[in-house]
């Protein structure tokens, strides 16, 4: 990964707070030195909580926050006083963040909405004081509960970009150029492979004040599902996009084969990706005449909508917006 401001995966050590111990205490007054048990309960250990923040777009702020340690609960005390709960720790994360346990790989939480809060790792319960164990037959219990321990483990936070449309294509297919023309985003554009190595998001303005989000994702190469090139770092972001726009340059030697390679990499990574809506855009089509367009159309797979566009000449972009909007809003 380049030394950029985009971090989409982080490994942190988390420990929730231990519960406070219950108190074993007996009330003593001037006139009744054995007035009975009055030990209070211990306080709960601090939780570790995830909270969605729509203004965040990366996990960069957690890069140097490797140990997340919540506060322990205070022990109970006499006069039935309950101990103070440990202070919770709230970790703000961008929308689309998944929390997993490193050892098991099990997904434990998922943040999709702004302000959404999930108690990720619960603090230990406080122990009961001896006042809670008093009964008619045991009016002076000599015992109280210890607090429960908190949980500790190495955890993984992983960001999967939330966008309506994901741009899919080989390196140098023209994805960044298209994004810069359709939106106000300013991705890096250059004539070499893997110019884009982190996702770029932009809002496409449609008619009547409507808009949708499009993501320029790092280019796929053959073998990406096995981790070649940017591999899984690219493919995990595509899981969030309901529609995928396959960008294939007009000067490709075999348009059908290029599309099939891209689809195969998606299938190898996660077969469920094939249930998304596919659209093909032939980029750099300003160099094509009608005869060449007809020849390319014969190569393309039937049943997948296709368009001819040119980002530099700004041709076919209005039709592309219409197709994307209709695809995203179909019943």
Per-residue pLDDT reduced to its tens digit, 154-198: 999 988 877 889 888 887 777 888 888 887 655 444 444 444 446
Confidence of residue 271 (pLDDT cuts 50, 70, 90): confident
Could you tell me if 17 and 105 lie in one domain? yes
Q: What is the pLDDT of residue 232?
A: 52
Q: What is the pLDDT of residue 41?
A: 95
Longest Cα separation, the chain: 108
Could you tell me if 255 and 208 lie in one domain? yes
Q: What is the pLDDT of residue 149?
A: 95
* Mean predicted confidence (pLDDT) in 87-97: 93
How far are the Cα atoms of 197, 296, 313 from residue 217, in angstroms, in the given order? 8, 25, 23
Task: Kindly give, in sequence order, each residue whose CB lies less than 8 Å from that of residue 39, ignoring residues fewer than 6 positions away.
Answer: 22, 23, 24, 25, 26, 76, 77, 78, 80, 129, 130, 131, 144
Q: What is the pLDDT of residue 75?
A: 94
Domain membership of residue 187 (yes or no) is yes
Q: What is the pLDDT of residue 76?
A: 93
Q: Which residue has the tokens 């449309």?
A: 165
Single out the residue in 107, 125, 159 at which a domain terminates: 159
Single out the residue in 159, 182, 203 at which a domain terminates: 159
Strands of the chain (E only): list them: 9-15, 26-27, 36-37, 48-52, 67-69, 89-93, 97-101, 107-111, 117-121, 152-159, 165-168, 200-205, 211-216, 243-249, 277-283, 306-308
Could you tell me if 131 and 177 lie in one domain? no
Q: For the segment 217-253, what is each residue's pLDDT rounded down to a tens digit?
A: 776 655 444 444 444 556 777 777 889 999 999 888 8
Q: What is the pLDDT of residue 3?
A: 44
* Mean predicted confidence (pLDDT) in 106-130: 94
For residue 91, the domain's CATH number is 2.70.210.12
Residue 325 pLDDT > 60, yes or no?
yes
Q: What is the pLDDT of residue 182?
A: 85
CA distance 206 to 325: 8
Q: For the segment 25-38, what is each residue's pLDDT rounded down to a tens digit?
A: 888 777 776 778 99
Single out the residue in 92, 127, 159 at which a domain terminates: 159
* Mean predicted confidence (pLDDT) in 107-125: 94
Could you tell me if 155 and 255 lie in one domain? no
Domain membership of residue 2 (yes or no) is no
Domain membership of residue 257 (yes or no) is yes
Q: What is the pLDDT of residue 5?
A: 64
Could you tell me if 146 and 247 lie in one domain? no
Could you tell me if 187 and 261 lie in one domain? yes
Q: For the segment 38-88, what is each residue's pLDDT rounded down to a tens digit?
A: 999 999 999 999 999 988 888 888 888 889 999 999 999 988 999 999 999
Domain membership of residue 4 (yes or no) is no
Mean pLDDT, the chain, rounded, equals 84
Could you tell me if 147 and 224 lie in one domain? no
Domain membership of residue 195 (yes or no) is yes
Q: For the segment 251-265, what is each residue's pLDDT rounded down to a tens digit?
A: 888 899 989 988 888
Could you tell me if 182 and 298 lie in one domain? yes
Could you tell me if 151 and 268 lie in one domain? no
Could you tell me if 230 and 175 lie in one domain? yes
Could you tell me if 298 and 253 lie in one domain? yes
For residue 299, the domain's CATH number is 3.40.50.300
DSSP state of 253: S
Q: What is the pLDDT of residue 1?
A: 37
* Mean predicted confidence (pLDDT) in 297-313: 89
Q: What is the pLDDT of residue 195?
A: 44
Domain membership of residue 62 (yes or no) is yes
Boundaries of domain holding 23: 9-159
Could you tell me if 93 and 185 lie in one domain? no
């Amino acid at each position: 990964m380049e030394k950029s401001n985009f971090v989409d995966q982080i490994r942190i050590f988390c420990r929730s707070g231990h519960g406070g111990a219950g108190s074993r205490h007996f009330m003593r007054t001037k006139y009744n030195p054995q007035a009975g048990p009055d030990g209070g309960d211990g306080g709960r250990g601090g939780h570790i909580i995830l909270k969605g923040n729509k203004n965040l777009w990366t996990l960069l702020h957690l890069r140097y926050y490797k140990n997340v340690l919540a506060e322990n609960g205070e022990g109970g005390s006499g006069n039935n006083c309950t101990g103070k709960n440990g202070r919770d720790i709230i970790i703000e994360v961008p929308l689309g963040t998944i929390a997993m346990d490193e050892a098991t790989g099990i997904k434990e939480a998922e943040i999709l909405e702004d302000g959404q809060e999930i108690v990720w790792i619960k603090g230990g319960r406080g122990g009961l004081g001896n006042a809670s164990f008093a009964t008619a037959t045991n009016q002076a219990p000599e015992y109280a509960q210890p607090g429960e321990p908190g949980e500790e483990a190495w955890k993984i936070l992983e960001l999967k970009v939330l966008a309506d449309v994901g741009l899919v294509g080989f390196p140098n297919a023209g994805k960044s150029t298209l994004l810069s023309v359709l939106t106000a985003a300013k991705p890096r554009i250059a004539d070499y492979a893997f110019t884009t190595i982190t996702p770029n998001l932009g809002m496409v303005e449609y008619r009547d004040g409507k808009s949708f989000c499009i993501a320029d994702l790092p280019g796929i190469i053959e073998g990406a599902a096995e981790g070649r090139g940017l591999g899984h770092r690219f493919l995990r972001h595509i899981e969030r996009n309901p529609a995928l726009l396959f960008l294939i340059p007009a000067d490709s030697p075999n348009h059908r084969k290029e599309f099939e390679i891209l689809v195969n990499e998606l299938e190898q990574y996660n077969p469920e990706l094939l249930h998304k809506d596919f659209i093909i855009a032939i980029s750099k089509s300003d160099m094509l005449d009608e005869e060449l367009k007809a020849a390319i159309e014969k190569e393309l797979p039937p049943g997948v909508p296709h368009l001819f566009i040119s980002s530099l000449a700004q041709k076919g972009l209005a039709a592309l917006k219409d197709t994307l909007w209709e695809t995203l809003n179909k019943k």
